[in-house]
């Protein structure tokens, strides 16, 4: 997690330089944009990204897509793993650990926008996009 924090800090200091040094292709607009004036967005994704306070401090926006137990169990059951899940792994380990980490997350970060994972991908995208756009308009 410490390495992730350092990586995010490096990106925040100079997103264009960071992208170049990591072999990320940039649009010509991004290449020509002054780092101070340009708009650069870094998306950090993962199921424990709100459980480490030093990382939370780097976020401008926080989103959490949630689904109910039944849907989560159904989706998990359709995955194919090289080594299949043992019987009762979901109820005995996966779901209890999810609940534990979600409670920690809720205690660590009070500015999460919760998104209903049962809505369409387009609806999720629209909600997140609108929220980010509104934040950018309010800070300019």
| Rounded Cα–Cα distance for residues 120 and 127 (Å) | 11
Residue 27, judged by CB atoms within 10 A of its CB (0-12, 13-18, 19+), counts as exposed
pLDDT of 1-60, one tens digit each?
A: 999 999 999 999 999 899 889 888 887 776 666 555 678 889 999 989 999 999 999 999
Q: For residue 27, what pLDDT is reported? A: 76
Q: What count of residues does the chain have?
A: 140
Instruction: Give this prediction's pTM.
Output: 0.82
61 touches 135 (CB < 8 A): yes
Going by the DSSP 8-state scheme, the letter that residue 140 receives in this structure is -
CATH assignment, 43-139: 3.40.50.300
Domain layout of the chain by residue ranges: 1-42, 43-139
| Rounded Cα–Cα distance for residues 97 and 106 (Å) | 14
Roughly how many angstroms between the first and final C-alpha of the chain, as a whole number?
31
| 64 strand-pairing partners | 114
């Amino acid at each position: 997690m410490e390495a992730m924090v350092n990586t995010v800090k490096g990106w925040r200091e100079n997103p264009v330089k960071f992208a170049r040094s990591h072999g990320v292709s940039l649009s010509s607009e991004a290449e020509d944009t002054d780092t101070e004036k340009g708009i650069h967005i870094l998306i950090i994704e993962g199921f424990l990204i709100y459980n480490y306070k030093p990382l939370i401090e780097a976020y401008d926006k926080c989103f959490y897509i949630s689904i109910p137990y039944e849907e989560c169990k159904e989706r998990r059951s359709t995955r194919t793993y090289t080594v299949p899940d043992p019987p009762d792994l979901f109820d005995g380990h996966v779901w209890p650990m999810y609940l534990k980490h979600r409670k920690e997350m809720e205690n660590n970060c009070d500015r999460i926008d919760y998104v209903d994972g049962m809505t369409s991908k387009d609806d999720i995208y629209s909600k997140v996009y609108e929220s980010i756009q509104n934040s950018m308009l309010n800070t300019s």
